[in-house]
Amino acid sequence: MRDLTDIETVGVVGAGTMGNGIAQVTATAGYDVVMRDIEEEFVESGFESIESSLDRLADKGEIDEDPNAIRDRITGTTELDALADADLVIEAAVEKMDVKQDIFADLEDVTDEDVVLATNTSTLSITTIASATDRADQVIGLHFMNPVPIMTGVEVVVGERTADDVADFAHVFAEDIGKETWESDDKPGFVTNRILMPWINEGVRAFDEGVATKADIDKGMKLGTNVPMGPLELADHIGLDIVLDASQTLHEELGDRYKPAYLVKRKVDAGDLGKKTGKGFYEYD
């Protein structure tokens, strides 16, 4: 089995919400991190999010180390070649198959041949992403939950050709950075989104059809099923554009029971994407 002692530097492709969160928790666990994005402004924004998150966690006493020391273990870059010395790479770019395949083909060129290449995709096929490389046995899904520094779960998704030792290593690495794991086969939506997306969409339909107010739908689900957020509130936190993309992917793969709710599409078209834009089903400062 691959050994964690062989991992010193972890590359993260993408400095957005998921990428900077993955970089943060990995650096907090003591690893050096190289966080890469295509524009310097995206890298800088990622660092701003990391610094803000670390300060909040420090104020709450939830991290023992100086936030600046954690921050200093992360290097930002726009150059993919900067990942050449990474011992593990986790991709967290936009949820588009052609983009991910291009990234993985490039990663194969710049990294050592024994480096595991992981993707944070929430719905796309690990097997299809891996087909862009000649090392499909070393490609694995590491699906972190949002927000990464707070949520403890990581979904390990095994592709058609993923080697057993790579799957085992993925579990061990995720647990080493403070997460708990479960495993899914490479089926559309995996465990989480296969179940979560229809739940969110049905909540949106119930609101759109006047079953109850949005507040009562969310309150009813929280109090009635002991979830921390109702479907509309959760959709806002995930991002309605992400909910729509995931639902459309599942609809194409699995049929009409995954058809996205019309109101989700309307809000995305209006630019009301949830918490990140200040307005979705609710309004945010």
Residues 64 and 171 in one domain: yes
Task: Note the helical H segments in 142-285.
Answer: 164-176, 192-208, 214-225, 231-238, 240-254, 262-269
The pLDDT value recorded for residue 206 is 98
The answer to the question of residue 252 being in a domain is yes
Q: End of a domain among 139, 155, 185?
A: 185
Please identify, among 155, 185, 215, the residue that sits at the C-terminal boundary of a domain. 185
Residues 204 and 268 in one domain: yes
**Residue 255 is encoded by which pair of tokens?**
């049929």
224 with 181, same domain: the answer is no
From the number of C-beta atoms within 10 Å of its C-beta (0-12, 13-18, 19+), residue 89 rates as buried
Structural domain contains residue 284: no
Respond yes or no: is residue 171 known to be catalytic: no
Contacts of 203-212 with CB under 8 Å at 24 or more apart are 203/230, 203/231, 203/232, 203/235, 204/231, 204/232, 204/235, 204/261, 204/263, 204/264, 204/281, 205/261, 205/263, 207/232, 207/263, 207/281, 208/261, 208/262, 208/263
Instruction: Judge if 154 and 36 occupy the same domain.
Output: yes
Residue from 20, 49, 120, 122 carrying the catalytic annotation = 122
Percent of the chain surpassing pLDDT 90: 96
Q: Is 285 domain-assigned?
A: no
Same domain, 11 and 105: yes
Range of the domain at 212: 192-277
For the chain, the distance separating the N- and C-terminal CA atoms, rounded to the nearest angstrom, is 48
Paired tokens of 4? 């964690």
Question: Exposure string (b/e) for 130-145, b if CB count within 10 Å is 16 or more?
Answer: bbbbebbbbbbbbbbb
Q: Which two tokens stand for residue 30?
A: 């003591």
- The answer, yes or no, to whether residue 2 has pLDDT greater than 80, is no
Kindly state whether residue 217 falls inside one of the protein's structural domains: yes
For residue 283, tell me if it sits in a domain: no
- Domain check: are 43 and 150 in the same one? yes
- C-alpha 34/C-alpha 18 separation (Å) is 14
Active site residue 122: yes
Q: Are residues 162 and 201 in the same domain?
A: no
3-state secondary structure of 187: coil
Is 158:136 a contact under the CB 8 Å cutoff?
no
Q: Which of 193, 201, 233, 247 is catalytic?
A: 193
Please check the confidence at residue 55 and state whether its pLDDT lies above 80.
Answer: yes
pLDDT at position 282 is 98
Count: domains in the chain: 2
Residue 168 and residue 259 in one domain: no
User: Is it the case that residue 1 has pLDDT exceeding 70?
Assistant: no
Is there a single domain that holds both residue 258 and residue 121? no
Average pLDDT of the segment spanning 155-162: 98
Tell me the pLDDT tens digit for each residue of 96-119.
Answer: 999 999 999 999 999 999 999 999
CATH number at residue 200: 1.10.1040.10
Token pair for residue 171?
């579990």
The alpha carbon of 194 is separated from its chain's Cα centroid by a whole number of angstroms, namely 15
The last residue of a domain, from among 146, 162, 185: 185
DSSP 8-state assignment for residue 274: B
Both 158 and 67 in one domain: the answer is yes
Given the residues 20, 49, 95, 155, select the one marked as catalytic.
Answer: 155
Domain membership flag for residue 177: yes
Q: What is the pLDDT of residue 4?
A: 87
pLDDT tens digit sequence for 63-108: 999 999 999 999 999 999 999 999 999 999 999 999 999 999 999 9
| 241 belongs to a structural domain | yes
Give yes or no: residues 37 and 143 share one domain.
yes
Please check whether residue 61 lies inside any domain of the structure.
yes
Widest CA span in the chain: 56
Q: Is 146 an annotated catalytic residue?
A: no
Q: Across residues 152-162, what is the average pLDDT?
A: 98
- What DSSP assignment string belongs to 210-226? TSS-HHHHHHHHHHHH-
Could you tell me the CATH number of the domain that includes residue 52? 3.40.50.720
The token duo for 69 is: 């020391």
150 shares its domain with 119: yes
161: its two tokens: 């050709």
Write down the pTM of the prediction.
Answer: 0.92
